[in-house]
Amino acid sequence: MEIVDTHAHLADAAFDPDRAAVLDRARAAGVRAVIAVGETLADAERNLALAERHPVLRPAAGLYPGRADAAAAEALAAFIRRRRDRLVAIGEVGLDFRLAADTPARELQRRVFAAFIDLALELDLPLNVHSRSAGRHAVAMLLERGARRVQLHAFDGKAASALPAVEAGYFFSIPPSVVRSRQKQKLVRRLPLSALLVETDSPVLGPRQGERNEPANAALVVAAVAEIKAVAPEAVAEAVLDNTRRLYGPGVA
């Protein structure tokens, strides 16, 4: 069984003591590649450096919505243009309305997100999208701006809000918290297997709240999706690997 963890924060300091061992456990669990997303320019730079030392990593560059400002977005966009050949995605980027209670803060997030959608189209890079408490708004923006290659990670909205994105060919990645989240279970139940990816969002969103999550737990997601959809784990693994290659290209794993 081959798995790609399509969203994990391997540059996080939580992995500094034992990153190599974490990746060894991931490989032992069937994880063939990990898309290393970032929240800052520093994360993006570190992702590239880590990928040099750990070939299992596929580096991405992003700006967390809660950190969004014009200067940071411009600096990250310049970095992405310079390192386009080394990056597999722009992410994570998007909207987080839990962190933006007022209209000006939300409008700033929208402007920054719009710029990254346009950049992804220009450079033909996938978008790895954060949309906490803003799922339908993020989907609407992606559709309005004509985004093509899209992953919505750990989507916390209603399945009805996800369906227009599925129709547009976007993908939804499921984290290990699916084992304890009724919302994620409902999402898996409603969405077709052809629209699903596997992620961990390590070091958070693990199977047990409060414990450090890691990429090896991607195998738990495959098992959970298989149980929810009443299909063999091998069939889930094969389908989501095919989905991952359709979004990120055959060279991702």
In which residue are the tokens 């600096």 written? 75
CA distance 191 to 89: 23
CA distance 5 to 25: 13
Q: Quick one: pLDDT at residue 102?
A: 84
Which long-range contacts link 225-230 to residues 24+ away (Cβ below 8 Å)?
A: 225/174, 225/178, 225/188, 225/193, 225/196, 225/198, 228/178, 228/185, 228/188, 228/189, 229/188, 229/189, 229/193
- Range(s) of the domain holding residue 167: 3-252
Cβ contact 87:80 at 8 Å: yes
Distances (CA, A) of 249 to 47, 131, 243: 19, 24, 10
Q: Quick one: pLDDT at residue 206?
A: 97
Pairing status of strand 196-198 against strand 57-61: unpaired
Q: Quick one: pLDDT at residue 67?
A: 84
Q: Quick one: pLDDT at residue 62?
A: 99
Query: Which residues carry a binding-site annotation for a divalent metal cation?
Result: 7, 9, 92, 130, 153, 201
pLDDT per residue as tens, the chain (253 positions): 999 999 999 999 999 999 999 999 999 999 999 999 999 999 999 999 999 999 999 999 999 998 889 999 999 999 999 999 999 999 999 999 998 878 999 999 999 999 999 999 999 999 999 999 999 999 999 999 999 999 999 999 999 999 999 999 999 999 999 999 999 999 999 999 999 999 999 999 999 999 999 999 999 999 999 999 999 999 999 999 999 999 999 999 9
**What is the SS3 assignment for 128?**
strand
**CATH number for the domain harbouring residue 90:** 3.20.20.140
CA distance 88 to 61: 9
Q: What is the rounded radius of gyration, in angstroms, for the C-alpha atoms of the chain?
A: 17
Q: What's the CA dihedral at 66, 7, 9, 183 to 10 degrees?
A: 60
CA distance 205 to 150: 21
Reported as type and span, the H/E element at residue 57 is strand 57-61
pLDDT tens sequence across 176-199: 999 999 999 999 999 999 999 999
Return the ∠ at Cα 99 (arms to 93 and 101), rounded to 5°.
125
Domain count, the chain: 1
Query: Which residues carry a binding-site annotation?
Result: 7, 9, 92, 130, 153, 201
